[in-house]
Structure 1
Amino acid sequence: MISPMWFLHNVAAISLGIFFIASSSAEQAPYSSFAKDAKLAPPVMYFDYIVIGGGTSGCALAATLSQGGAKILLLERGGLPYGNPNITNIGGFPETLADTSPTSASQLFLSMDGVFNHRARVLGGGSAINAGFYTRASSDYVASSGWNPRLVNESYEWVEKKVVFQSPMLTWQSAVRDGLLDAGVSPNNGFTYEHLPGTKVGGTMFDQNGYRHTAADLLEYADPTKISVYLHATVYQILIRTVPAGQKPKAFGVYFRDSNGNRHMAYLNNGPVNEIILSSGALGSPQLLMLSGIGPANQLRAQGIKVILDQPNVGQGMSDNPMNAVFIPSPRPVEMSLIQVVGITQVGSFIEAASGFFELVWARRMAQEVSKFENQTGHPFTTPFNENKQEAMPGPDPYRYANIQAGVILEKIAGPFSTGYLELQSRDPNDNPRVTFNYFKDPRDLQRCVQGMEIVRRVVESRHLFTFRYPFATMQTLMNMMLTYPINLRPKHVTATYSMEQFCVDTVMTIWHYHGGCQVGRVVDQNYRVLGVDSLRVIDGSTFYNSPGTNPQATVMMLGRYMGQRILQDRTPF
């Protein structure tokens, strides 16, 4: 007789299912005429718009601006997503997150809460390293943001024509969908990009062959005669001209370095509407504002940075939607799938699923890298992971197998209510800032987690998942199993009466939807112009108070297109 404990320790090493092969390592960017390595950049350049960050928003923004006849520079600190099978193949998703090399497309950081996280370092940004799910923000979110609904819809459609596909619905995702409906997450909204309460199938950035499309593909829309893209270009400072008291300082250029450390200067052409636009993400944008002298004066002075504008709200309002999950070993083959189905509940949480690999085991490799954080002064989680004390899995490294016979159901808190802050660690833009998200500091978030996990329990125990679950694998057993994996570095509090509240706190993870740091009304105005500084905007997820929809990438790409059109309208008024 096979014992439950033997099963729990060994089933995750079984290799079954579907593995997609979709790319060639020799593949090049379709716009190689204007995407170059920064080592080829001249020492001094002049442009009408300088976009810092070729991520989910930046690519859409730069492509749109180039269509209006202005001369555009896009600077990206990473390389191309094309030709890297871990990025372009659906099966490479966990490998990308596991790569902790200095040039990885995914840069690991450990929050001060003891939770592993990542920031993108590649053209296309988070869309090149995420699970690919595509779904729009709700109409209420659009209205609360003050956006024009017609232009928002057109901007979403512009994105969707290039990079979004209908998700294939195979056995695991279909079972989770039906389980959600049985658990009361209704109605069944079918396939739609819209954010609708109930259960739906969303879009995906992976095509029918499992090949990933990213925001970098949106640069195919660009006018090649009007845009220059430099890769491996790390911006160290936005240049801001100081002025007499009573006048606004004005951004006029940027200083960046290539991968050889050579300095380059890019300046704005003379003109009343020419601008520098930060699209470096929720970590990169507030970090670069501070490095350029815009931020809390005490922080800047502590790093020896000249204060251009004392702006205490830069780096504030940081939030990361807490995620909790259960891994479900299966006695039957489970196909490879990332996020396809979502349950938009009435309790303020979203429920999603994946299958074919244990996506949480990335934490095993992350934990082995924790020693790198020991030099972070004051970091409370600096003890390297000890495999002898907490063995993740015996046998072959499950990370090397994209088709493990198991599924995972996860729950994400909407919002959230809890917020934190970001602080500079050094003057080097390559260093991660220190970030505290304060997971579950607001008790409403913990209440939502408990309610959401109760829905997950009903899904797990539904008749639709019966054939995917071993008889002894109760919800409590699955919860206990999650505690055996180093999914974070937070202390565990296992007791005989282990509660769902404690499970939420102990096993919290990220779903990579962090946001804030340059929020509208605090750091930027409704047109995303930096308050108190001319010729400088921030257009990315750092401006959000809440994560849009169930997954934000659709809205971040939309925002790049949307604001690009708005800026062009202001440039050439009708």
Structure 2
Amino acid sequence: MGIWWWRLILVSLAGILFSPKHGASQRVTGMKYTFMKNASSAPSVSYYEYEYIVIGGGTAGCPLAATLSEKHKVLVLERGPSPYGNPNITNLDAFGAALSDTSPNSPSQRFISQDGVINSRARVLGGGSCLNAGFYTRASPYYVREAGWDGKLVKKSYEWVERVVAFEPIVRQWQSAVRGGLLEVGVLPYNGFTFDHIRGTKVGGTIFDQHGHRHTAADLLEYANPTQLTVLLQATVSKILFTNKGSRSRPVASGVIFMDALGREHRVYLKQGPKSEIIVSAGALGSPQLLMLSGIGAERELRKHNIDVVLNQPLVGQGMSDNPMNAIFVPSPVPVEVSLIEVVGITNVGSYIEAASGQMFTSRSPRDYGMFSPKIGQFSKLPPKQRSPEAVAKAIEKMGMLEPAAFRGGFILEKIMGPISTGELQLETSDPNDNPSVSFNYFKDPRDLRRCVQGIRTIEKVIESKAFSRFRYHNMSASVLLNMTANSPVNLLPKHSNTATSLEQFCRDTVMTIWHYHGGCQVGRVVDARYKVIGVDALRVIDGSTFNCSPGTNPQATVMMLGRYMGVKILRERLAGAETE
């Protein structure tokens, strides 16, 4: 038995002994992998060494690569750095610092949709799990059935993920009050702590352990066979290479071109064989963007950028969605703890209610406000189209002038399920480092707007509930807080105005992202049920770009699960093929 088998057994035992239900912490801060290298150390050309090239070491790519490495040689190309040793990623109290960093070396890359909503995409090993608010919850059984997944393998894949990265949060006073308010206003039943997506109110999981340390998809590389895996950091893939074996044959993915941090070009060619594959796991923006840059997309659009057409596929980049988030700020007369998302109300009207609280201090930005700071682009004072860089800068300046007491309190938010409204993604340039153009068309479908209104009404009831009464000023009604949130200079303090805001207008004007965007390479449109790109061979896409709607209340658990799930499915396919040969 090889040493890597013993390594896997030890990881599994650790998962059993130190799982969330036992309340233990798995601290991996500073952990380094022997197979992790900077891309500048790679040869300029590599021939036929790897059976799988995974483009993107993110939330799906890490568990996928770890699984495939059990049996095969795998190369991961990640455009960002390592998350290890970066306290802005690791520590809960620093949440927002990485998202507010707009430098070229930041682990997040800011983009603004055509709708005007400021957003971010990950640029770091571990992907969005290094930047998000940490909430961990599975998809519903209905979602699993609709996706056509094997329910038993889905369950095992979630459990594989959870042994390393998922924990039960310590629910303190603010989150407890929100939970009590949800139950009081009828978001029933109470389901306690569970990873499962069940209608009613529950405490979900978190990827922050009891010491406030974040655990990410990169930690799932602990499962990998270190002799079979290579991870190259700061490797930006610019193109997938294809070969044609004849005039009537389909294009076959055969290799990739990537650039290192020094701007040097590298080429890697797949090991020759019918089972070798390139798998794109570059995220909901990166995956459709890379397919287009490689010649798979709408022919007319590709020719605008002088890209040779490999496959005319106009559905690449279509069906883009981002779940709209709207929130109400509730100033508190008493101090509140720092908390991200822990409690969720899964309503029967198509909206999810969550909350975050407390003043977050970081060494760089002593007045960041967690999930709702203009420093990270969460700016709701102005309608989306008016959120100019100048307006954001002015809001940040005004926020710096406020007394610390102004930050005491928290936000209660709602996110609609789905959503039904969709948009599209197009190339802006042929540079893979540039953001593509993307629109999400928030609330274009009136059903999404109705769900938002119903969600805000639920929040108003929670605020006015007896269970939540300790954390609100009793001379501030929910309608006052609504108007305050919509019209304040920095989402925190009220503007003196007698003009009431309709809930429909509130939803449109204060819409923000909760970073759950998806689509662009959807199953049945761009990829088939096995996530193979339709019309070419040896190429798959496995990540959130394949989703038709966002799973559960928060998608990261399902994206990690999908990486593991499809890794197992691919290994099983190869084994079955070998047995029939």
TM-score scaled by length of structure 2: 0.88
User: Alpha carbons of 1:572 and 1:397: their partners in 2 closer, same or farther (altered >3 Å)?
Assistant: farther
Question: Structure 1 residues 122 and 433, CA, compared in 2 at 3 Å: closer, same or farther?
Answer: same
Residue type of the alignment partner of 1:359: G
Look up the SS of the partner of 1:550 in the other structure: coil
Q: 1:223-238 maps to which residues of 2 (within 5 A)?
A: 223-238=225-240
Shift of 1:120: 0.4
Q: How does 1:295-314 map to 2 (within 5 A)?
A: 295-314=297-316
**2:550 corresponds to:** 547
Structure 2 vs 1, CA of residues 383 and 468 (structure 1 numbering), >3 Å: closer, same or farther? Answer: closer
CA separation of 1:214/1:365 partners in 2, compared to 1, >3 Å: closer, same or farther?
closer
Distance 1:130 1:391, change over 3 A: closer
CA contact (8 A) 2:374 2:396 kept: no
Query: Could you tell me whether the CA contact under 8 Å between 2:315 and 2:525 is conserved in 1?
Result: yes
Task: State the one-letter code of the partner of 1:417.
Answer: I
CA distance in 1, matches of 2:210, 2:387: 42
Give the aligned partner of residue 43 of structure 1.
Answer: 44
Match 1:240 to one of 242, 249, 252: 242
Cα distance in 1 between the residues matched to 2:371 and 2:475: 22
Alpha-carbon shift at residue 361 of structure 1 (Å)? 4.4
Checking the alignment, whether the CA contact within 8 Å between 1:242 and 1:308 is kept in structure 2 is: no
**Greater Cα offset, 384-393 or 292-301:** 384-393
Residues 1:409 and 2:412 are matched in the alignment: yes
**Retained in 2: the 8 A contact 1:392–1:486?**
no
Matched letter for residue 307 of structure 1:
V
* Candidates 371, 390, 406, aligned match of 1:385: 390
User: Which residue of structure 1 aligns with residue 524 of structure 2?
Assistant: 521
- How many angstroms apart in 1 are the aligned matches of 2:501 and 2:87? 42
Letter in 2 for 1:176: V
Bigger drift between 463-472 and 103-112 goes to 463-472
Which region of structure 1 is more displaced relative to structure 2, 464-473 or 128-137? 464-473
Counterpart in the other structure of 2:194 = 192
Q: Are 1:431 and 2:451 counterparts?
A: no
Contact 2:79 2:235 in 1 (8 A): yes
RMSD of aligned Cα (Å): 2.4
Matched, 1:140 2:142: yes
The 1:487/1:104 distance shift into structure 2, 3 A limit, reads farther
Which residue matches 1:274? 276
Any conservation in 2 of the 1:172–1:335 contact (CA below 8 Å)? yes
1:11 corresponds in structure 2 to none
Whether contact under 8 Å (1:49, 1:277) holds in the other structure is yes
Q: Deviations for 1:220-258, whole angstroms, at most 9, x for unmatched residues?
A: 100000000000000000001245443210000000011
Provide the C-alpha distance between the structure 2 equivalents of 1:305 and 1:208, rounded to a whole number of angstroms.
50
Q: What is the CA distance between 1:179 and its match in structure 2?
A: 0.3
Change (3 A) 1:403 1:380: closer
Distance in 1, Cα, partners of 2:329 & 2:180:
18
Judged with a 3 Å threshold, the aligned counterparts in structure 2 of structure 1 residues 387 and 163 are, in CA distance, closer, same or farther, namely closer
**2: distance between equivalents of 1:83 and 1:119?**
20
Count of residues in Structure 1 that have an aligned counterpart in Structure 2: 534
Q: Relative to 1, partners in 2 of residues 1:346 and 1:290: Cα closer, same or farther, differing over 3 Å?
A: same
Q: Could you tell me the percent identity over the aligned residues?
A: 60
Cα deviation digits, residues 505-550 of structure 1 (max 9, x gap): 0000000000000000000000000000000000000000010000
Structure 1: distance between partners of 2:269 and 2:168: 42
Q: Deviation digits for residues 300-337 of structure 1, max 9, x if unmatched?
A: 00011011100000000000000000111111110011
Report the Cα distance in structure 2 between the residues aligned to 1:131 and 1:446, rounded to whole angstroms: 25
Decide whether the 8 Å contact of 2:372 with 2:378 is kept in 1: no
- Give 1:359 deviation, angstroms: 3.0
Matched residues in 2 for 1:237 and 1:486: separation?
Answer: 44
C-alpha change, 1:364 and 1:43, in structure 2 (3 Å) is: closer
1:363 is aligned to: 374
- What SS class does the counterpart of residue 531 from structure 1 fall into? coil
In 1, Cα distance between the equivalents of 2:66 and 2:325?
33
Give the AA of the match of 2:152.
R
Preserved contact between residue 335 and residue 403 of structure 1 (Cα < 8 Å): no
- In structure 2, C-alpha distance between the alignment counterparts of 1:194 and 1:323, rounded to whole Å: 22
Partner of 2:153: 151
Counterparts of 1:432-511 in structure 2 under 5 Å? 432-484=435-487, 496-511=499-514
Retained in 2: the 8 A contact 1:97–1:362?
A: no
**Residue of structure 2 equivalent to 1:373:** none
Q: Is the 8 A contact 2:38 2:234 kept in 1?
A: yes
Distance 2:397 2:482 in 1: 15
Q: 1:465 to 1:367 in 2, by over 3 A?
A: closer
Query: Quick one: structure 1 residues 274 and 116, their matched pair in 2 at CA, closer, same or farther if it must change by over 3 Å?
Result: same
> How far apart in 1 are the matches of 2:310 and 2:400?
56
1:119 aligns with 2:124: no
Provide the C-alpha distance between the structure 2 equivalents of 1:397 and 1:495, rounded to a whole number of angstroms: 23
Question: Hey, what's the Cα distance between the residues in 2 that align with 1:387 and 1:64?
Answer: 43
Structure 1: runs of 5 or more not aligned:
1-21, 369-378
Q: Distance in 1 between matches of 2:525 and 2:249?
A: 20
Relative to structure 1, is the Cα distance of residues 219 and 427 closer, same or farther in structure 2, using a 3 angstrom cutoff?
A: same
1:10-66 CA-partner distances (Å, limit 9, x unpaired):
xxxxxxxxxxxx999x953331x1001111111122310000000000000000000
Task: Give the structure 2 partner of residue 249 of structure 1.
Answer: 251
Relative to the length of structure 1, the TM-score reads 0.89
Q: Which amino acid aligns with 1:113?
A: D
How far residue 198 of structure 1 moved from its aligned partner, in angstroms, is 0.1
Could you tell me which residue of structure 2 aligns to residue 34 of structure 1? 35
CA distance in structure 2 between the aligned counterparts of 1:438 and 1:140, rounded to whole angstroms? 26
Equivalence for 1:422: 425
Task: Decide whether the 8 Å contact of 1:66 with 1:72 is kept in 2.
Answer: yes
Pick closer, same or farther for the CA change 1:394–1:325 going to 2, 3 Å. closer
Q: What do residues 473-526 of structure 1 show as CA deviations (whole Å, max 9, x unaligned)?
A: 2222222222245789xxx9x983421000000000000000000000000000
Alpha-carbon distance in 2 for matches of 1:383, 1:543: 31
The 1:420–1:191 alpha-carbon spacing in structure 2 relative to 1, beyond 3 Å, is same
Q: Counterpart of 1:363 in structure 2: which amino acid?
A: P
SS in 2 for 1:547: coil
Partner of 1:533: 536
- Matched letter for residue 370 of structure 2: E
Secondary structure at the counterpart of residue 424 of structure 2: strand
Write the letter of the residue equivalent to 1:28: G
SS at match of 2:291: helix
Structure 2, unaligned runs of 5 or more: 1-24, 360-368
Alpha-carbon offset, residue 402 of structure 1: 13
Distance 1:514 1:394 in 2: 28
Letter in 2 for 1:302: K
Aligned partners of 2:392 and 2:208: how far apart in 1? Answer: 35
Instruction: Indicate how the Cα distance of structure 1 residues 53 and 391 shifts in structure 2: closer, same or farther if over 3 A, else same.
Output: closer
Aligned partners of 1:367 and 1:385 also within 8 Å:
no
Match of 1:323 among 316, 322, 325: 325
Question: Aligned letter for 2:137?
Answer: T
Amino acid at match of 2:82: L
SS in 2 for 1:335: coil
Q: Cα–Cα, structure 1 residues 191 and 380, in superposed 2: closer, same or farther, change >3 Å?
A: closer
Query: Partner of 1:209 in structure 2?
Result: 211
Matched to 2:569, the amino acid is: R
1: CA distance between counterparts of 2:158 and 2:405? 31
1:548-563 mapped onto 2 (5 Å cutoff): 548-563=551-566
Q: 1:360 to 1:147 in 2, by over 3 A?
A: closer
Amino acid at match of 2:37: K
